[in-house]
Structure 1
Amino acid sequence: MQIFVTGAGGFIGGSIAAHLVKRGHQVTGLIRRAEQAKDLQALGITPVIGSLDDTAVLAAEARAADAVVNAADSDHQGAIDALLHALSGSGKAFLHTSGSSIVGDASGGLASDIVYDETSMPAPTPDKAARVAIDTKVQDAARQGVRAVVLCNTLIYGHGAVPGAKSVQLPRLIAQAEKSGIVRHVGPGLNRWSNVHIDDVAALYALVLENADLAPGGSFFFVESGEAAFRDMTAAIAQALHLGPAQDWPLDEAKAEWGYEMASYALGSNSRVRSRFTHRRLGWQPQRTSVVDWIRDEMRTQ
């Protein structure tokens, strides 16, 4: 297939694009910075320079491709509208990347026993209502002749394919620790997030693209293969960085460092999910199941 991937210079998009190339697909990737072109070309990806605001570029690439993967921004309404409009009536696949903070509880680092799956979703918080509305709009595009699928990723770890590209959550914890000499988690760090290795994410996207009968338009999949409390992840980071024990951090101080969204949801909430469909319906078999083991054994290997 000829596949167009947005966010190809990033951690998720670049890794997905590189994996698709290895599987024999022809991949064109949207990047914002021209200096990333050589990195993409080295991975076998054809770079297209532009942004999500360049709707004419998005539409042209979508029409030229057999399938589109949006891995750039879960919340960019204009780009998603442009891509869906270009694909309308084509029957082509559109894979949209969402994130499991949509079920986050902003608990300030406190624990929760609640676990969600694709069939038991909560009403979104006001902070996440816009993202959930976009996910729903993508799914609804199946009625306009698009094989539109939402892949809702959990905390992603591992080393990405594009040099210098990083995930969202763990790098924030690591950067703060390296700057201050103290590893910290929000509140008591009892909050738990489901998680998944980037290689397994890329494999799942390929599986969805290549199996239209198993992942029809309108599908929604959580992407997860393990779970960990933040205090266990920060303990592993402290060990890997040879620093003292990880410390609790009041939410207000964490917000001052990371901002409201990052501190409250990405690092300070519970986001516990299970997929009822990825394993049974798609036959996805993730190879990694422990983010704590990865932090201790592989985080510093790149």
Structure 2
Amino acid sequence: MRIFLTGASGFIGGSVAVHLIAAGHDVRGLVRSPERADAVAGCGIEPVLGTLDDAELLAGEAARADAVINAASADHRNGAETILDALAGSGKTFLHTSGSSIVGRRDAGGRSDAVFDEETPIDPSPARAARVALNRDILASAARNIRALIIAPSLIYGRGLGVNPDSMQVPWLIEVARRTGGARHIGAGANVWSNVHVMDLVELYRLALENAPSGAFYYAENGEASMKEVCAAISRMLGQGGSTHQMSVDEAAGYWGEGPANDTMGSNSRVRARRARTELGWTPASPDLIHEIEQGCYAAGR
């Protein structure tokens, strides 16, 4: 396929693009600067200079492509709507990247027992209401003869394939542990996130692109861990003895910002990728998160 992909220099977008190129697809990738254009070109991606606000450019690229993958922003409604309008009536694919934080609440490091699969209704927090509404509207565009698909990754770990090889949550926690001399989580760290290795995630994108039915929504996960368990693994990996320390939401916001502290690092996001496994035959096979921290790419980079 001829694919137009946004976020080509990002962790998810770059990794997906390189994986799809290896599978025989051609990828044109949106980037925001000439420097990033040069970088993605070195990965085999044909760069397109622009942003999600460049409506004419997005529409033209969507019209020329066989499929569009949005990996630049889960929340940019104008960009998504521009692409959908350009694809209306074509039967072409629009694969949008959301995220499993749509099920989360501001739990300040406390545990939740709520677990979601693709059929579980979501009552989103105010911070994620707009994202859930955008997801709904994207899937509804299937009625306009668009093959609309959504993948919602959970916590992503592992080394990426593109110009930006690092994810967010685990590197953030490692950085704080290094800076402060101890691994730190919000509150008790009992909050649980499902997780997925980046190499398993990019294979899910390929399977969805090639085989998913229109209107499909997929979570991406292969296990879960509490933030305290993740921090304990980081502590062991860094030679800090496995001990962890609590911090307040306000303290965490000083490291990562108020939104990420509340809606990502202190929340629960427990999902099950049942549909991907049963419908697409997705079979994650990468090392689990704790192993990757203690013996994999994070340990190798310490």
Q: TM-score range by the shorter chain?
A: over 0.9
Measure how far apart 1:165 and its partner are.
4.1
Aligned residues: percent identity? 46
Aligned to 1:264: 262
Counterpart of 1:217 in structure 2 is 214
Gaps of 5+ in 1: none
1:242 aligns with 2:239: yes
What is the TM-score with the length of structure 2 in the denominator?
0.95
Aligned-CA RMSD value: 1.3
Q: Which residue identity lines up with residue 54 of structure 1 in the other structure? A: D
- Partner of residue 291, structure 1: 289
Equivalent residues of 1:9, 1:165 under 8 A apart: no
**TM-score by structure 1 length?**
0.95
Measure, in 2, the Cα distance between the counterparts of 1:168 and 1:84.
Answer: 29
Task: Tell me the distance in 2 between the aligned counterparts of 1:54 and 1:179.
Answer: 39
User: Per the alignment, in what secondary structure is the counterpart of residue 253 of structure 2?
Assistant: helix
Equivalenced residue count is: 299
Residue 266 of structure 1 aligns to a residue whose secondary structure is helix
Q: Is the 8 A contact 1:108 1:264 kept in 2?
A: yes
Q: Aligned runs of 1:7-86 on 2, under 5 Å?
A: 7-86=7-86
Q: In the TM superposition, what whole-angstrom CA distance separates every residue of 1:57-79 from its partner, at most 9, and x where no partner exists?
A: 11111111000100000001111
What is the DSSP-based 3-state SS (H/G/I as helix, E as strand, rest coil) of the residue aligned with 2:185?
strand
Deviates more, 1:172-181 or 1:86-95: 172-181
Aligned equivalents of 1:181, 1:51: Cα separation in 2: 39
Q: Distance in 1 between matches of 2:206 and 2:273?
A: 17
Q: Runs of 4 or more off by more than 4 Å in structure 1?
A: none
Aligned counterparts of 1:289 and 1:104: Cα–Cα separation in 2: 25
Over 3 Å counting, the alpha-carbon distance change for 1:164 and 1:14 in structure 2 is closer
Shift in alpha-carbon separation, 1:263–1:200, aligned structure 2, 3 A: same
2:227 to 217, 220, 230: 230
Q: Does 1:273 align with 2:271?
A: yes
Instruction: Please state whether the residue corresponding to 1:193 is helix, strand or coil.
Output: strand
State the one-letter code of the partner of 1:263.
A
In structure 2, what is the Cα distance between the partners aligned to 1:33 and 1:45?
Answer: 14
CA contact (8 A) 2:10 2:163 kept: no
What code does the residue aligned with 2:47 have? P
| Residue aligning to 2:185 | 185
* 1:279 to partner: Cα distance: 0.5
Distance in 1, Cα, partners of 2:32 & 2:239: 36
Q: Write the letter of the residue equivalent to 2:239.
A: H
Which whole-Å deviations, capped at 9, do the CAs of 1:128-163 have from their partners, x for residues lacking one? 110000000110110111100111110000111123
Supply the distance in 2 between the matched residues of 1:283 and 1:164 (Cα, whole angstroms).
28
Local SS of the residue matching 1:136: helix
How many angstroms apart in 1 are the aligned matches of 2:167 and 2:87? 29
1:202 is the counterpart of 2:189 = no
Which has the larger displacement, 249-258 or 110-119?
249-258
The aligned amino acid for 1:294 is E
Distance 1:60 1:184 in 2: 47
Q: Which residue identity does 1:94 align to in structure 2? A: F
Classify the secondary structure of the residue corresponding to 1:184: strand
Amino acid paired to 1:237: I
Structure 2 unaligned segments of length 5 or more: list them.
Answer: none
Once the two structures are TM-superposed, the CA of residue 253 in structure 1 deviates from its matched residue by: 1.7
